[in-house]
Structure 1
Amino acid sequence: MPTRSQPQSATQVIKSLSYSGTNAIADGYLRFVQSGTSTRVQVDANAAADAARLAEWEFHNAVLAMKEVVRGQYGADSDQAQAVGLKKKSEYKRPSRKKLVAS
């Protein structure tokens, strides 16, 4: 990876990141920033990891929302709720009083 003192073309930088997409700017790898009268190019080498993490987070939130919709539509004690991985309300153990041992 080049240091700040070794300017390279954007094409060389993109190749060094093993980027295989078609638009590095839209994908978040490259960004142009105005600095006084000049323009700087910022490179985000972790753009792919960030995008994958964001997609995983969005999928996780979608699954949680789907489970809440199923619970709301069919009820907390339904077979449909159990089918999406929720525990039926009737399967929870009821709390019981502990008996004291007389001594």
Structure 2
Amino acid sequence: MIEHVVLFKFNDQTTDEQKNEAIQKLTSLKNKIPGIVDLQAGVNFSDRSKGYELGLTVRFEDQEALEQYGPHEEHQKVVSYLKEIGMSDILALDFEL
């Protein structure tokens, strides 16, 4: 199993409604991309986040599923939306379970 962890920062113009829409779009990927075992996304509530506002965790069957996820059309649609609403930084970490 592979755990994929992503943190997102947005600019000051990004609204809470847009962030919530981003979460909905991210969580919908679970049913659209093969190889995803579990997917969770949410808004940060901690003051330790160094400005990262949304978090995403995706558990994949294997590394091949992770490699297929990045270029997948549905994933790229969500990435485009995140950029459109003002994503200013992203941090990703992958590890094997």
The one of the two structures with greater contact order (alpha-carbon pairs below 8 A, sep at least 6) is 2
| Shorter-normalised TM range | under 0.3
Q: Which has the higher strand share?
A: 2
Larger Rg: 1
